[in-house]
Structure 1
């Protein structure tokens, strides 16, 4: 049996585009003699549709798309994901469903059983779990169809009380097909391989796993769809961060034609769960995820040009390089906004970076604007000493200038704040925290340096001086980040324990970190939740990002 996996980039609510992509892939698979073609979870409407699912018109469009697609299920079976109305059972109005289309008809509908409600997922808000579990028969084969989370309830600590594949095994299937929308994080590729291997070993059936690719605002889907034979050998992996259509020949004995990519013994049995921060871990994948996140955010929102403040610092340099890769250097405008506190080398570094990248840039000094603010505020400030207020005026002046230029020419502002800064509140609301999308908001400062080195892996794009000099906001004479924050080599490791690993203060101190420093850092994280709550969407690359996947009370007292 020749089975195709169609790894495609969908656009939430763009039914015409999504349907056309699906139909084109079906036609191509037909021409190549395919028996089945498999698409990803909720491919018809895009994932995650969230509250769009509450609109009857949206669901009607999903059904209309299925009707359009099933016409092409002629001589080939098609598996697509879409919502299904709950018409006969109690519970919520919808199921998350996989439709098996054959002979221009809906032959079978499989409902998702395990509905995740953790991190970025909130499926139980919209969907009812499956009531029934049955296989579909096609060309003499019995197929067990599951949806994403349905295969993740294995291991020593399952999240749910039921395992859908256990139910499906009662019908003696010959193969497993899983349609997924599994988001990227820099640990997740190994996680998927481990969990699929575990399923194959448990049920002794081959697995065809089709994942989505592409970015939906903050969530990046990396693709990397997988095919395992019944001996748990990896027989195929579609590319990361790319659309792809590939076929695999399944033999009657559960083996797959062609060379084995990885034998079962070479595939880790456990999910990747780093207990300490490793800033170099999968840095190339993080780079590619961020490039895709920028590119898709712009293309799906019909934006074409970006703007950012280029300070000569490491964060803006990395964002500029990523944006040029994603959008083309000619579409990214850098604005250099030196003040009287800016060093000459910062301006020189920022200029050299843009020359290396070939992007347009402008220099707009803020000294006169800044001094005009101070003149007007002098009667109110009443000779009080220089403080954070004067520093923030500079940052907000820059934010105003960037937004003015963006509004005038139709640019979207890229935010350059990193995760270390966002965690500790080291940023100015309505100043350097302004932006349409946060590019580095899920990368610690150490990871930003690793990204810079990765960008320079073949030649010097980011000037070496930007990478080696001490980081500074340059808002007062001689300022350094270390004046306000612990050294990043320590800070980031504490933050990682608190945010990604969810370790409390006692557990973090037990790892050997200074007790007073731990208390200080965790307090900074918690008291600055109000700032992050007003921040733009952040491209998610870690197992726990700020944003929709981390819900912490703004007024919480814990560690404050």
Structure 2
């Protein structure tokens, strides 16, 4: 009679530092696996501590506490399926990113990560010791190799484990979302299957942690590299994967394949997830934002309403004499369509008071950007006052194009605790609004339909800080600006290379200059959801003081 093995995948959402709460999540999932008669349940990389812990994991007391909780979990889950779970392992003065295997009330194996990523958002060489390659371990009839996340992106660890007798590969991951990342994961994991001839299980975290969002999308590949299971993205899920031993080794019984949405949906889901988890894991249930009648604040309001529910979103219109009547109307329509609360606080009185206070110092000087920034900063002061009084976190609404070139007022419209669209270029803001109007999913908490009026999307963008102001008075058209920004920031192209692609050299040089002189603003900007592999601050870390400019 053929041997069988049931492996339960736990694609769940831990919270960094909540060791015992995360262990309780593991216990609950373990009980579900036991009821399903599973032989083992697998959790993602560093599940017990949450991920990424950054320097918190280097605190010896934290690592020791995590190891004590692992021992408690092993003792509590002695009678039932084995557990594979990620947590730090402190061995003397050496700290490892580890995967613990718990069986029969004890820790039966500790797999240590060998390949430490040190690029993009990862600084693991700063945090952990690179371990020697760990061998496979046995659970019941099955010998399992567990290359931890980055270990599976290269052939060394999986091949060594296969040569040491592994019959399947179980890969625990803490792989954050970025656009197109899923396809890259698949390509690498298929390569490992082809090289080893073994089935592969990829189990990933979900949920938001600071700027990063983990999308789950866990999957299973059979020994031929064909996908047999795919779990939904950005959703907690428990899945049971059945293996059966045949003449050619262990085979995977086909299961469910969740649909893989397009990039606009995945980006939007990431922004909703990241916003919800940043707030709730920080202890906030409600948000506050300035709703201007423009497209950026409308999109942020929609994301917030979908994340928290319209009843937990409070919008405030803060008009001046430069605020157009259609902006007031558009803000009201957005609020009505989303079902969120909208209040109005005119800034004319506070502005007059500030103007009067500054008059002796400004006497004889012409009006300029100073007066525009006063308006923006007054709005920031008023929003923060309401936030303090009502206990709602302020969301800021600057898109990536604005953040990149500093087209925002520090201590003004940059005020806030979180920015859902920080990594979304303006041209993608337009398309994301159109996508949300045309699509509705069961994970959205706001109403379906056209929640962002067409007029808001189609009208020329304006900060409305002076008469007849348009963004294009200060910046190139966004379809040109974003091409330049993508070239300079995302592709690291030189000025000469962009000019060779048909862009005007003077314009490119001006944008390059704006990027560099705005670095100090970005150091003080609110965190926001990472969507790309070149998110400002996380993936691109530049000095604030920098006199170099591309001479090409």
Residue equivalent to 2:30: 26
- 1:288 paired with 2:269, answer yes
Q: Secondary structure at the match of 1:456?
A: helix
Distance in 1, matches of 2:139 and 2:284, equals 44
Deviations 1:225-280 (A, max 9, x none): 01000010100011100100001111213321135859xxxx9xxxxxxxxxxxx9
Distance in 1, matches of 2:457 and 2:19, equals 45
Residue equivalent to 1:137: 138
- 1:499 paired with 2:472, answer no
Deviations 1:193-222 (A, max 9, x none): 111111111111100111000001111000
Q: How does 1:252-401 map to 2 (within 5 A)?
A: 252=245, 253-258=249-254, 261=257, 282-401=263-382
Q: Secondary structure at the match of 1:507?
A: helix
Correspondence for 2:464 among 474, 495, 513: 474
Deviations 1:320-352 (A, max 9, x none): 011011111111110101100110000110011
- Higher alpha-carbon deviation: 472-481 or 47-56: 47-56
Deviations 1:41-74 (A, max 9, x none): 1111111111211222211221121112112143
RMSD: 1.6
The structural deviation recorded for 1:105 is 1.2
Correspondence for 2:230 among 233, 237, 252: 237
8 Å CA contact 1:121–1:549 kept in 2: the answer is no
Residue equivalent to 2:383: 402
- 1:444 paired with 2:440, answer no
Question: What stretches of structure 2 of length at least 5 have no aligned partner?
Answer: 440-448
The structural deviation recorded for 1:281 is 6.5
8 Å CA contact 2:206–2:234 kept in 1: the answer is yes
- 1:40 paired with 2:48, answer no
- 1:541 paired with 2:531, answer yes
Residue equivalent to 2:502: 512
Residue equivalent to 1:159: none
Q: Secondary structure at the match of 1:348?
A: helix
Deviations 1:6-62 (A, max 9, x none): 001000111121000001111110110101110001111111111211222211221
Distance in 1, matches of 2:198 and 2:213, equals 30
> Structure 1 length as normaliser, TM-score?
0.93
- Higher alpha-carbon deviation: 48-57 or 395-404: 48-57
Deviations 1:122-142 (A, max 9, x none): 111110011242111222322
Residue equivalent to 1:160: none
Deviations 1:170-209 (A, max 9, x none): 3131110100000001111111111111111111110011
Distance in 1, matches of 2:464 and 2:450, equals 25
Q: How does 1:62-211 map to 2 (within 5 A)?
A: 62-71=66-75, 72-87=77-92, 93-153=94-154, 163-211=156-204
Distance in 1, matches of 2:214 and 2:35, equals 28
Displaced runs of 4+ in structure 1, greater than 4 A?
259-262
8 Å CA contact 1:187–1:543 kept in 2: the answer is no
8 Å CA contact 1:234–1:260 kept in 2: the answer is no
Distance in 2, matches of 1:471 and 1:125, equals 43
The structural deviation recorded for 1:164 is 1.6
8 Å CA contact 1:183–1:219 kept in 2: the answer is yes
Distance in 2, matches of 1:174 and 1:509, equals 54
Residue equivalent to 2:517: 527
- Higher alpha-carbon deviation: 532-541 or 71-80: 71-80
Deviations 1:142-171 (A, max 9, x none): 2111111111126xxxxxxxx222322331
Residue equivalent to 2:450: 460
Deviations 1:269-295 (A, max 9, x none): xxxxxxxxxxx9601111111111111
The structural deviation recorded for 1:404 is 0.6
Deviations 1:502-525 (A, max 9, x none): 222222222221111111111111
8 Å CA contact 2:66–2:87 kept in 1: the answer is yes
The structural deviation recorded for 1:302 is 1.0
Distance in 1, matches of 2:60 and 2:123, equals 19
> Structure 2 length as normaliser, TM-score?
0.94
Distance in 2, matches of 1:370 and 1:62, equals 53
Question: What stretches of structure 1 of length at least 5 have no aligned partner?
Answer: 155-162, 268-279
